[in-house]
Every structure is written in structure tokens, then in C-alpha cells.
Amino acid sequence: MHFFKAYTGAFFLSVMFCSAQIVQEDFAEDEAFVYKSDISAGVLFSTNGGIPAGFRAKYAWQHAKKSKQFHQLSLDIVNIRHPKEYRLASDSGSGYFIYNKTNFLFVVRANYGRELLLFRKSSEEGTELKLVASAGPSIGLVKPYYVLASNGRGLSTPIHYEPGVRIDRILGNSFFTGFDEISAVLGANARISLEFGISAWDIFVTGVEMGFQAEALTKKVPIIAFADNKSVFTSAFVNFYFGKRY
């Protein structure tokens, strides 16, 4: 617990420092800036997630009139994978399962952050570059990993795949089993990124966000049996998004 507090404290101090550096002159009186807020949704890819790793929704609004700074609220829903996850073909030959996997780890993140407009090509259609720093709470949702096991009579039964459970024939995954057994783990996260956006008709925007994410949970989550399971996760990520400006 002391390590968790120290680690998350360092996260927040880093993000506060980055936010404190987000200071730049406002737009001049004669410089056009045509939107005050934007809302977007994106698909996330990360070095410790699946393909895709999850999804992000974001709302941002201008800090003040003519300001190049924006407030940001975002919500992520992602899957975190263990680096030692390996897919094996099932005994039926038509499916697969993940060797020694005992639990899924899904994470819901709610973040507050700041955006700084570094570059904008034009006031209407054009490109822009932002620096983004944010932090917030995380909730880890731990769902037992189930596989379909043959009962020897032509039928299959979902079984929690964990150490000590003998399964003679595995027919595949049973992803939708076990949602009623989900347990929660609290945590915190922080990230910093660069966001490159392309606007069209000054209403819609599409772009890509690339950055680094760090996350700490209050306890280790057993994702893979007989492996080093952690409570702290770091990753690089890419977010492809589409949104609308107001």
C-alpha cells in the first residue's frame, strides 16, 4: 500500500508539473479561433492491450476566451493483457484458449487533464498539434477466465481455468461466462501525449493521439498463473479518434 501511495503520488506530481508548464500567450485580438469545445470518441491501441485495447471518449473546452489552453474530461474502457499470454489451439480444432490465463483485467479510467495548442495551420480547415497531460482514478474489473470443457458426451461445460483444475479437453473460450463474478480493484493513472488533429469544414475533426500511460492498482491482479503478476502497468498508446467541434 505504501508503494502504491508513493507511485501514484509521483504520477500526480508529474502531471501537475506538466500542467504547470502549459503556459503560452493567448491568441491576439485579430487572430481567429473558431471553436470553443469539442467532443470525440476513439479506438485505443496499446502495448499491453488487445487489438484494439479499448475505447476512449473525450470532452474538451476552452479555458478562457482567446486562450490556447483547454480543460479535458475523458473516459477509457480498456483490456490489459499479461506479456506472457499465449494462444493455443483448442482440442476441437475450431477455437483457441490462452494458456494458464486465470482472469481478464478490464480497466475503467476517468481522467481530468489540460490541453495546450502548440500549432494550428489555419482558422478553418487545417491541422493542429496539442500537448495533453491528464490523471485520474482507475477501477480494475477482474473477471474470471472460463473455457469450454468437453464432458465426454458431446456436450461442453464452462469451467474457470485456474491452477489445480483438471481439464482433459478444452474446446475453446467462454468469454461471456463469469461477468456475475467480477470483482473491483481501485487505482490511479496518469498519461501524457501529443494529439495531431485534422479539421474539416471547421466542424468535424479526425486525428491521432500518441503517448505514454502509467497505472497503479492497490493490489496485484492474477492474470496468468505461475507468472509474475503486477499491480503497476505502463504502456505506450495510440488513439485514433473522430469528433465534432462547437
| pLDDT number for residue 201 | 64
- Spell out the residues 6+ positions from residue 217 whose beta carbon is closer than 8 angstroms to its own: 4, 138, 140, 185, 186, 187, 231, 232, 233
Confidence at 243, pLDDT banded by 50, 70, 90: very high
pLDDT digit string, tens, across residues 158-211 = 999 887 777 778 888 889 999 999 999 999 999 999 999 987 666 888 999 999
Residue 77 carries which side chain, given as an amino acid letter? I
pLDDT score, position 27: 52
pLDDT confidence of residue 95: 79
Is the full-model pTM beyond 0.85? Answer: no
Distance CA 222, CA 244 (A): 40
Contact 197, 127 (CB under 8 A): yes
Q: Where are the domains of the chain?
A: 2-24+39-245
Distances (CA, A) of 32 to 27, 29, 65, 124, 134: 8, 8, 11, 9, 27
91 pLDDT band, cuts 50/70/90, is confident
Mean pLDDT along residues 224-237: 95
Q: What is the pLDDT of residue 202?
A: 65
Q: Distance (Å, rounded) from C-alpha 10 to C-alpha 21?
A: 17
What gap in Å lies between CA 124 and CA 74, rounded to an integer? 25
How many residues in total does the chain contain? 246
CA proximity to 187, closest of 236, 225, 220:
220
CATH class of 2-24+39-245: mainly beta
